[in-house]
Amino acid sequence: MVLTDTEKTKYQRRGFFVRYGTFSEKECAVFREAAQRVEAQLLEKISDAAAWPITKDYRLDGNRFVDFNHVTVQLEHSSAQDCLRVVEPVNDVDPVFDQLLDDPRLREPMRRLVPSQHLALWTAKLNFKHPKVGSGFGWHQDAPYWIHDCDHVQQLPNVMVLFDDANAGNGCFRVIDGSHKAGCLPGCEDGRQLQGFYTHPDCVDETAQVLIDAPAGSAIFFDPHIVHGSGPNESDNPRRAIIITYQPAGFAALKSGQVREIR
């Protein structure tokens, strides 16, 4: 479970590394069931605003977002408004994902990546990537998005746990190899509301692109400064995953403002 020297060197040099077979198929089935449960629960709340008061219902760049207190729900970008794109933080919605935060297979390597002996949660996002309608994520870094909310973005490593097999057809995770070494890069200036969230095209060397084709149960650890994204899901297969971001103990989580220590 402990981060190896080889993995740490790869993380420092390339900005990411992958652990295959971290979680079993049985565990992935539990994660998939929990994801389905989260989506059904939140769609019901969105459709019955009288019973479940919505804190905020808004659009950014034409795409719908709904907030339930500190939990943000992104609906899918296409006309398929009956399915979700992202839920953050998902650990506050379902206990399966809250328990996953403490799993030693994630916790132990993160102690060396943060680095800190004791950890807390920064955020946890559930990505759905539904078949045929799951939209892609443009090239971006996490650090420029978070830098306004904390002073330790360099200590916010991520790990993506795949619930389904991921490949180019269903929009697998992709990175620009080594791009983390450049620090915070300029954002786009194309007039979109979220333009600053996306990395300026002039700073993205697509010749260094790595598509991370990996089976369900894999864990992808990646630096908060690495340029990353994903393609749309054009297949008949889902590509669900959770991205968990850790930080040193004692700091509050991004959206709740509460400290969630890692046990």
Position 260 in a domain:
no
Position 105 in a domain:
yes
Tokens 């919605």, residue? 93
Whether omega before 115 lies within 30 degrees of 0, making that bond cis, reads: yes
Model confidence over 170-215: pLDDT tens digits? Answer: 999 999 999 999 999 999 988 888 888 899 999 999 999 999 999 9
- Please state the domain count of the chain: 1
For residue 195, what pLDDT is reported? 86
pLDDT above 90: residue 51: no
Position 262 in a domain:
no
Chain-wide mean pLDDT for the chain? 95
* Cα-to-chain-centroid distance, residue 9: 23
Q: Is 93 left (phi over 0), alpha (psi -120 to 50) or beta?
A: alpha
For residue 260, what pLDDT is reported? 98
Q: What is the mean pLDDT of residues 102-128?
A: 98
Edge-to-edge strand ranges of the sheet holding 228-230: 137-140, 228-230, 173-176, 209-211
What does the alpha-carbon distance between residue 196 and residue 91 come to, in Å, rounded to a whole number? 27
Residue 81: pLDDT band with limits 50, 70, 90 = low
Q: What is the mean pLDDT of residues 115-133?
A: 97
Instruction: Indicate which CATH number applies to the domain containing 32.
Output: 2.60.120.620
pLDDT above 80: residue 110: yes
Position 184 in a domain:
yes
Model confidence over 156-167: pLDDT tens digits? Answer: 999 999 999 999
Position 263 in a domain:
no
**Reduced DSSP (H G I as helix, E B as strand, rest coil) percent helix, strand, coil of the chain, to 5:** 30, 25, 45
Both tokens assigned to 28: 């992935």
Model confidence over 141-158: pLDDT tens digits? Answer: 999 989 999 999 999 999
For residue 215, what pLDDT is reported? 98
Range of the domain at 108: 5-248
CB of 111 closer than 8 Å to CB of 154:
no
For residue 15, what pLDDT is reported? 98
Lowest model confidence (mean pLDDT) among 18-27, 48-57, 137-146, 172-181: 48-57
For residue 48, what pLDDT is reported? 87
Strands (E), the chain: 16-19, 56-60, 63-68, 71-75, 84-88, 119-127, 137-140, 158-162, 173-176, 209-211, 219-222, 228-230, 241-248
Residue 258: pLDDT band with limits 50, 70, 90 = very high
Position 217 in a domain:
yes
Position 253 in a domain:
no
Residue 120: pLDDT band with limits 50, 70, 90 = very high
For residue 149, what pLDDT is reported? 94
Position 258 in a domain:
no
What does the alpha-carbon distance between residue 227 and residue 255 come to, in Å, rounded to a whole number? 23
pLDDT above 70: residue 79: no
What does the alpha-carbon distance between residue 63 and residue 76 come to, in Å, rounded to a whole number? 8
CB of 146 closer than 8 Å to CB of 156:
yes
Element (H, E) at 80: none
Phi, psi of 102 (to 5 degrees): -90, 0
